[in-house]
Amino acid sequence: MLFKSEMNMKPLHELKGHKAPVVTLDYSAKNFIGEHVLASGSEDNTCRLWDLRSSKAVKGINNLNDPVTSVKFAKKADSPLLYLSSGTK
């Protein structure tokens, strides 16, 4: 995954970890993992939680039966929930 600055379009961070295209993202400024966390879901049947300060994956959900189609953090910062959907049904 690659993030670019809107001002100069130069790469800022490259987040490596998925083995197939990422199809869904959600950002949380503060949640149960920490601050500035990005959730990513991929066609590789995994979900990753990224610390954007270090550009590293801090948690992963692996070996799902189907590609991840949606990720969403709970709206309350103190909630330990990440909503995840996978598959086509």
Average pLDDT, the chain: 86
**Mean pLDDT along residues 45-55:** 93
Q: Is the pLDDT of residue 71 over 90?
A: yes
Q: Tokens 């990422």 sit at which residue?
A: 22
Q: Which residue has the higher pLDDT, 44 or 80?
A: 44
DSSP state of 52: T
**Mean pLDDT along residues 13-37:** 88
The pLDDT assigned to 89 comes to 59
Nearby residues of 60 by Cβ (< 8 Å), 6 or more positions away? 17, 46, 47, 48, 49
The pLDDT assigned to 40 comes to 96
25: phi then psi, degrees, rounded to nearest 5:
-140, 150
Output the CA angle 6-57-59, nearest 5 degrees.
130
Which pTM value belongs to this model? 0.82
